[in-house]
Structure 1
Amino acid sequence: MEGLDNPFLQNLNAVVDILKEKNEYVKVHGKSLLKNDALYKYILETTVYPREHECLREIRLATEEHPLALMAGSPDEVQLLQMLLKVLNAKSAIEIGVFTGYSLLATALALPEDGKIIAIDAVREFYEIGLPSIEKAGMTHKIDFRESTALPVLDQLLSEEKNEGAFDFIFVDADKDNYLNYHERAVKLVRIGGIIAYDNTLWSGAVAALPDEPLPEFDRMFAEHAKKFNTAMVADARVEVSQLSIADGVTLCRRVA
């Protein structure tokens, strides 16, 4: 990652050592709140990997070698999102935070042939890791990748009246301190009955840590972001909310108003 002239990446480099240390834990224990590693392995090997598309598997394995691999969606979570897309009969989607494209390809595969997904990430170099597999899967025609921080893109979409309520599904897995800002825009872009899915909303269980519990400052900070976000979602009458303990915590918001 050194030498990439990207302001977002420069900010990311400020915490990269912490992320690498956390990533080593994920490599050993998996990205799951389950405390039983054998059970998580059973779930993956029994119901996830046997149905995983070949090109998804390629991206997953390539991502596992990346020092920031923990930023990718977990396979069981991504499988759930694919099912939600199909239940919704989704044709249009937005992904905020792409990384290497594992969840992006899963979304593209779940959309019909004429489906479209706007994919937003500030670092194209990450996306290009998975791009050969996305091309191999024949999914590039569904993807509109935009190299940018997310808020300007979302605001640009909302500046066009046709985009309000035009999307069936939005997946948010980017900078956690902006989740409330993303939500205010996403809830206008998604249709009534559509779903917005937010990743990492339990932050390794740190949201339930006691005030005097030893906790890395990095985890404490992001747990506070998650708690603030979760509280706001419960109070938002525009959405129905379901908090799932899959992966690192996933909050589903179904727009109702």
Structure 2
Amino acid sequence: MTGRLEELFSGLRERGRRALGPYFASGFPDRETSRRLIVAAIDAGADFVEIGVPFSDPIADGPAIQYASEVALSRGMTLGGSIELARDVSSERPWTPLLLMTYYNPVLAMGLERFLAALPGAGVAGLVLPDLSLEAFESYRETFERHPRVEVVQLVALTTPLERARRIAAASRGFVYVVGVTGVTGARDRLEGELPGFVAGLRGVTNLPLAVGFGISGAAYARQVATFADGAVLGSALIERIRAAGDGDPVPAIARFVRELRDALG
């Protein structure tokens, strides 16, 4: 069964385009504004949107996303609420695949089977579980395979040995999410020097599209990523711009920024 993310990247590749996947923290700065931000990003040119579920101990996330997560949790956002947010967005923009990023503890509390069954109806095409190791994923593989409409996107870090990267990529669907920095999320001024070569090496072990996330700070960085990767995912730079709006409406500034990124990626 061909998934929506796989179809998206295939279509973009045929047209010579790179995928743009902005990340928004579910419920930040509040539920309604996060819905409006996601819809505005889609209208500004996002090919897919990653919705981050807030969690109390986000080990992969830097200060910006940690802050957004704390705010969202304080306002009552949950995994179930994030799925409902995705459903609302999908009802307005059903053609755009949504990717849910969540740590595994909330999934465990809900129950993996119940969780996976809820996603397709909410417009969620893909799933990123940053703290679920390859070995843990393999132990749940039969459950994931009962839900083929949900593409589990695996993460590969710059420090991952090539043979392990091959195994991770073999377990991934839709695309491989390349962690473009050493360490946690957060916007960086420039890309890691070894990143282009690392991505080139991955192309020797997988035919899946390769999207770079973590660290992308703006259009200039995205333009560099477009020269060697199939897509770009960014979140901290968006969170920082949302915070910069203060008590004002962040939607216009985010829409402008997403258009800049879209133009940079081609």
Structure with a larger share of its residues in helix: 1
Question: Which has the bigger relative contact order, CA under 8 A and spacing at least 6?
Answer: 2
TM-score, normalised to structure 1, is 0.35
Structure 2 length as normaliser, TM-score?
0.34
